[in-house]
Amino acid sequence: MTHVDQLISNAPRLRDDGCIAWPEGPTKPVLTASAIHIWCARLDTVSQQLDGSNALLSRDELRCAGSYHSDLHRSRFVAARSMLRQLLSIYSGIEARALRFHYGKYGKPSLADPDPSLKLEFNLAHSNGFALYAFSLNQPLGIDLERIQAIPDLMDIASHFFSKAENVKLGRLDPIQRQQRFFQYWARREAVGKCVGEGLTESGLKTGVSSAHVEDLFPLSGYAAALATSNSQATLNQWGYHLP
């Protein structure tokens, strides 16, 4: 059994109450230069508990929320952005509704008016009602979350984005293991692309070449996730976000 196989087989499952597998995080987290904080949240629960969350969002965010035709997807978007603002407020000391964002070429967000003494970095990802948030100090990072599901043309997609060695490994697996491994590979590439601020096809990952350090994450059963960071020695703190 390879290291990745062992990680996947040992991945934590959802608790019986449907919450995140990771332990509940602190109410006042202290972020240090040697650490990365990762939060996982169930957006439908957040949406139910966040009163007046629309008031936290900017006009651009509200306009984006209004573009969703589905009430469910709209509420999840609002919850995801509201949570991002609340967490950033904790780490930056800036009021949640006062935060302003800048977006890179491929949509990676950053603070528009960063505190030069803080050097706060962050990234987020969401999939099928769950969200991941990562925070660090002066350490570029990217995070991704993917729901594992059946894809008819999985190997064709893999041939375009994955290395030859990875395609060989995928071809040797049974269908269920192949799905799990495919989405783990995909999450890694998305995370690295977001870390370096490039698109998936521009980050040079088909050959497996990358300057970023990648960690596989397992916050939920049935999902694949990964974190990419410039610091391979960083301490990872992984928490579930539970509103009081």
| Contact status, residue 216 vs residue 228, Cβ threshold 8 Å | no
Residue 207 corresponds to which tokens in the numbers above?
């050959």
- Rg over CA atoms, the chain: 18
Domains of the chain (ranges, CATH numbers): 3-11+35-232 (3.90.470.20)
120 phi and psi, to 5 degrees?
A: -80, 125
Q: Which of 4, 10, 7 is nearest to 165 (CA)?
A: 4
**Which alpha helices (DSSP H) does the chain contain, by range?**
3-9, 43-49, 59-66, 71-92, 154-161, 164-171, 175-196
Please tell me the predicted confidence (pLDDT) of residue 8: 43
Task: Give the whole-angstrom CA distance, residue 108 versus residue 191.
Answer: 11
| Contact status, residue 131 vs residue 41, Cβ threshold 8 Å | yes
Residue 134: CA atoms inside 13 Å, Cβ hemisphere, count? Answer: 30
Cα separation values, 205 from 147, 165, 187, 194, 202, Å? 21, 12, 12, 12, 8
Please tell me the predicted confidence (pLDDT) of residue 53: 66
Cα separation values, 190 from 56, 124, 198, 200, 241, Å? 28, 11, 9, 6, 23
Task: Give the whole-angstrom CA distance, residue 109 versus residue 140.
Answer: 12
Q: What's the pTM?
A: 0.87
Give the count of beta carbons closer than 10 Å to the beta carbon of residue 111: 17
> Mean pLDDT, 10 residues at a time, over the chain (244 residues)?
44 48 91 96 80 80 93 92 94 93 88 83 95 95 95 92 93 94 94 83 50 90 94 94 63
